[in-house]
Structures are given as C-alpha cells and as structure tokens.
C-alpha cells in the first residue's frame, strides 16, 4: 500500500483511544498525589502479591482447560463436512450473541446451594455440593465465557492443514501420538498461540466473574483495580500502577509464547 490515506481514520482512533490512555496509565503510575514523580505506587503493590499470584494461577488453569477442551473439537471440526462445520461453528458462537453479564448471572443460579444443579442432585439424593463462591466456580466462569476464543483460532488454522500431510505421516509409519506431536502441533502452533493469548488475557484481568461466582472472597487483580477507581477511595495512581504491572506480566507471558513460533504468525491475524 503506497497510499496510506485510508488508514487515517483508524490511526486517529488508535491514538485517541489506545495510545493516549496507555500513556496516561504509565504517567499516573509514576505520579504521586501532589503531582511529582514517585515509585511509591509500585512499592505499595507488593503487599497485594498473593492476589496477583492467585489471578495468574486461575487464568493459567482456565487456559489449560480451554485448550484441552478446544483442541480435539477444533481438529474434528476441521476434518468434517462443510455443512456440519458451519452448524457447529454457529453453535460455538451462539452464546456470544448474549450479553456476557447475563450468562454469568445464569451460572450463578445454576451453581447456588439452592440452585438448579443441586436441586436436581437432591432428587437423586446426592449432595448438596458447595459449588458457588469457590475458586473452582471462578475458573468455570472463565472457561465458559472464553472457550469460543480458543476454538475459533485453532479451527481456522487447522482447516488450512492439508489432509495429505497427515496421511503422509501415517504412511511413513507414525502412530496417532506421533502424528499429533510431530505434524499437527507444529502446524497449528500459530492458532495455539492466538487462542492461549485470547483466553489468558481476559481471564487474568476479569473482575465480574470473580465477583459473581467467587462470592467476593476470591479477589482477583481486576477487582483490586476496580476498587481503586470506583470504590470508596478514589486512587487512580495506585490503580494505574496495578494496571501497568498487569500489562507487563501479560507482555512477558506473550513474549514467551510467541518465541515458540518466530516465522509463522499468520494465526495472529484472524
């Protein structure tokens, strides 16, 4: 593209709503209330390390579960008839047409002690089980909400893998495990990286899921940041510092992930 004019509207958008806010976050993170430069905000955050660790752990678990669920289904989808593929993809996307908050609210009524699942189990004289207000419920909420973001990139990468590649590997004596490790995995790596990114990033920064399904006791980074901005104390300085650290953590993890695959990044463009 020699003529860059058509990109202009988006560049304006990007500067106004992405670059400037990003700059403000960095600026506030290093500013004290009196307006001078300070590192206090960042030092203060060290007391919240357990919350950071917990958030990252839960996000990692959710990402792993998403991957385990999504990888086989994405493969099966990419090898089936076109009509079947279209229907299945529609079904994967369908929940996303409904508001995210409503879906999480729905899980609340399902998981409660007096909720639908426990009532049903009660009929069979099992339980009741404590499901809501646990870390497990938070992970479940993350998996449920972000699973489509794992399936779709994996599927679109796998759909491009030629069936003859797999057949060739089988002809040359690979068993099923070796086909997956030596052929399928390397070829679908861009999709894996995109999927992991798209599940991990929103999971680690969520605050609605942890509040609704975690009962306010499973506090995550998102809750902490929210409290700084619209809680009883208005403290954008510490809030920005937390956001900054969160962004750095994400960048590092994404950096590690993408170094697995340094030449083929087409999966990222989905």
Partner 1 sequence: MKKWVTILTAVLLCFTCLQVSALDVRAEDTVTIKVYNWGEYISDGSDDSMDVIKEFEAQYPGIKVSYTTYATNEELYAKLRSGSASYDVIVPSDYMISRMIAEDMLEPLDFSNIPNFADIDDTFKNPQYDPENEYSVPYTWGTVGIIYNTTMVEGTVDSWEVLWDPQYTGQILMFNNSRDAFGIAEKLLGFSQNTTDVKELEQAAEKLKEQKMVLQAYVMDEIFDKMSNGEAALAPYYAGDFFIMQEDNPDLAFAVPKEGTNLFVDAMVIPKGTEHKKEAETFINFMLEPDIGLANIEFIGYSTPLKTVKSMLDEEVLNDGISYPSQEILDKCESFVNLPDELNRYMDELWVDIRASGSSSVIELIFLFAVILGLGGALIIYLRRRNR
| Per rule CB under 8 A, count of chain residues that contact partner 1 | 37
Query: CA torsion sign, 152 to 157 to 158 to 162?
Result: positive
Of 11-19, 20-28, 69-77, 225-233: span binding partner 1 (CB under 8 A): 225-233
Are the beta carbons of 111 and 137 closer than 8 angstroms?
Answer: yes
For position 112 contacting partner 1 by CB under 8 A, the verdict is yes
For position 230 contacting partner 1 by CB under 8 A, the verdict is yes
Measuring CA to CA, how many Å separate 22 from each of 42, 118, 232, 243?
Answer: 17, 45, 24, 10
DSSP label of 115: S
Are the beta carbons of 79 and 163 closer than 8 angstroms?
Answer: yes
For position 21 contacting partner 1 by CB under 8 A, the verdict is no
For position 211 contacting partner 1 by CB under 8 A, the verdict is yes
For position 127 contacting partner 1 by CB under 8 A, the verdict is no
Are the beta carbons of 205 and 246 closer than 8 angstroms?
Answer: yes
Find the binder of partner 1 among 48, 65, 159, 250 (CB under 8 A): 48
Binding letters toward partner 1, positions 144-183, x by CB under 8 A: ----------------------------------------
For position 217 contacting partner 1 by CB under 8 A, the verdict is yes
Angle at CA of residue 263, ends 92 and 192, nearest 5°: 25
SS3 107: helix
For position 233 contacting partner 1 by CB under 8 A, the verdict is yes
SS3 31: strand
Contact set with partner 1 (CB under 8 A): 47-51, 53-54, 56-57, 60, 108-109, 112-115, 130, 132-133, 211-212, 215-219, 224, 227, 230-235, 256, 259-260
């Amino acid at each position: 593209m020699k003529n860059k004019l058509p990109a202009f509207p988006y560049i304006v958008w990007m500067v106004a709503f992405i670059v400037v806010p990003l700059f403000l976050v960095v600026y506030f993170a290093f500013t004290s209330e009196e307006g001078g430069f300070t590192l206090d905000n960042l030092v203060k955050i060290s007391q919240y390390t357990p919350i950071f660790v917990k958030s990252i752990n839960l996000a990692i678990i959710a990402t792993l579960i998403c991957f385990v669920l999504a990888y086989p289904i994405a493969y099966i989808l990419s090898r089936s008839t076109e009509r079947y593929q279209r229907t299945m993809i529609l079904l994967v996307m369908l929940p996303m047409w409904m508001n995210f908050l409503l879906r999480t609210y729905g899980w609340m009524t399902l998981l409660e002690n007096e909720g639908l699942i426990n009532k049903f189990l009660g009929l069979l004289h099992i339980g009741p089980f404590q499901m809501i207000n646990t870390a497990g419920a938070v992970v479940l909420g993350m998996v449920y909400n972000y699973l489509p973001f794992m399936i779709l990139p994996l599927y679109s990468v796998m759909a491009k893998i030629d069936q003859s590649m797999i057949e060739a590997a089988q002809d040359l004596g690979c068993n099923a495990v070796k086909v997956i490790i030596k052929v399928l995995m390397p070829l679908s790596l861009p999709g894996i990286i995109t999927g992991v990114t798209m599940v991990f990033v929103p999971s680690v920064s969520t605050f609605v899921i942890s509040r609704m399904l975690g009962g306010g006791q499973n506090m995550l980074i998102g809750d902490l940041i929210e409290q700084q901005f619209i809680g009883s104390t208005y403290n954008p300085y510490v809030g920005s510092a937390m956001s900054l650290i969160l962004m750095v953590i994400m960048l590092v993890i994404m950096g590690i992930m993408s170094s697995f695959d340094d030449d083929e990044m087409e999966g990222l463009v989905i």
